[in-house]
Amino acid sequence: MNQVSTPQGEPLPAIEAVIFDWAGTLVDFGSLAPTQIFVDAFSTFGVHITLEQARGPMGLSKRDHIRTLLADPSIQAQWTQTFGRASTDEDIDAIYQRFMPMQIEKVAAYSQPIPGAVLTLQTLREQGIKIGSCSGYPRQVLDVLLPHAAADGIAPDWVVAGDELPAGGRPGPFMALANVLALGAQDVRRCIKVDDTTPGIEEGRNAGMWCVGLTLSGNEVGYSQAELAAADPVQVQARVAHAARRLTQAGAHYAIDSVADLPAVIEQIRQRLARGETP
């Protein structure tokens, strides 16, 4: 149970908890469910955004995501042209209210585990590591997603939604720290945050944790599995490299393709802890 030894035979420090994001991290390869719904929700107001624009603020709570999109000059220009005025907080609320039922309707269709995620969670549990999670999804959306994910083997010990903490969401540390409290972890320096978005990595760094960014499976690359299979390998490599740079610049200690690669990284973090390093 969480006992690995150094070459000298001394046990390595234990990892207490790993806190995962959801879309693009544990489920929904490419983080497709939230992205397309932002495009669809804005289009119902006569404002047309691209998938790339929709991906930009990914990782924020959904209301903050909408606020950030409306702050984009090109999107705000469309809004002003359509409505003859700048957007307001009431408009953010209106888009959010349009977004929510659309997201609830679609999220279950994107609940399939990312390849390797189920085995990774099993491996962590066998090592005595607690499994937390948090998401930019509101609780209403997570309540639809969670039973489908659990049926496929993705069932963390704790889940925090993007809209349920008074202190707020990412990039603040609050959801990650709420997991620490709920899981009873003693030391954030022995906790790991795993995420495919820059706000999610910043969340983990602000909480004082080791941070692992996910490239190929996540929002930064943005391929579905079918698109990935058909893509030019050179283009895939370029996207992965760009994603790794973005996540590393946000503070990730490691950038890997997907959660399938996480167990090896955990062993590296244990080695670093044994040498006295901290996040």
| The pLDDT of residue 3 is above 50 | no
- Confidence tier at 179 by pLDDT (50, 70, 90): very high
From the list 47, 57, 254, the residue with the least C-alpha distance to 162 is: 57
Residue 13 pLDDT: 83
Tokens at residue 97, please?
């209210």
**211: helix, strand or coil:** strand
In the set 21, 28, 195, 196, the catalytic residue is 21
**What is the reported pTM?**
0.89
- Confidence tier at 9 by pLDDT (50, 70, 90): low
- Confidence tier at 56 by pLDDT (50, 70, 90): confident
| The pLDDT of residue 123 is above 90 | yes
Q: Which residues lie below 8 Å from residue 73, measured CB to CB, with a gap of 6+?
A: none
- Is there a catalytic annotation at residue 62? yes
Longest dimension (CA), the chain: 71
In the set 28, 62, 130, 163, the catalytic residue is 62
**Portion of the chain with pLDDT greater than 90, in percent:** 87
- φ, ψ of residue 214 in degrees (nearest 5): -110, 130
Average pLDDT over all residues of the chain = 93
| The pLDDT of residue 125 is above 80 | yes
From the list 218, 205, 279, 207, the residue with the least C-alpha distance to 249 is: 205
Element (H, E) at 46: none
* Prior bond of 171 cis (ω within 30°): yes
Alpha carbon 153 to chain centroid, angstroms? 18
- Confidence tier at 8 by pLDDT (50, 70, 90): low
Q: Which residues lie below 8 Å from residue 192, measured CB to CB, with a gap of 6+?
A: 15, 17, 18, 19, 204, 209, 210, 211, 212, 266, 269
- Is there a catalytic annotation at residue 130? no
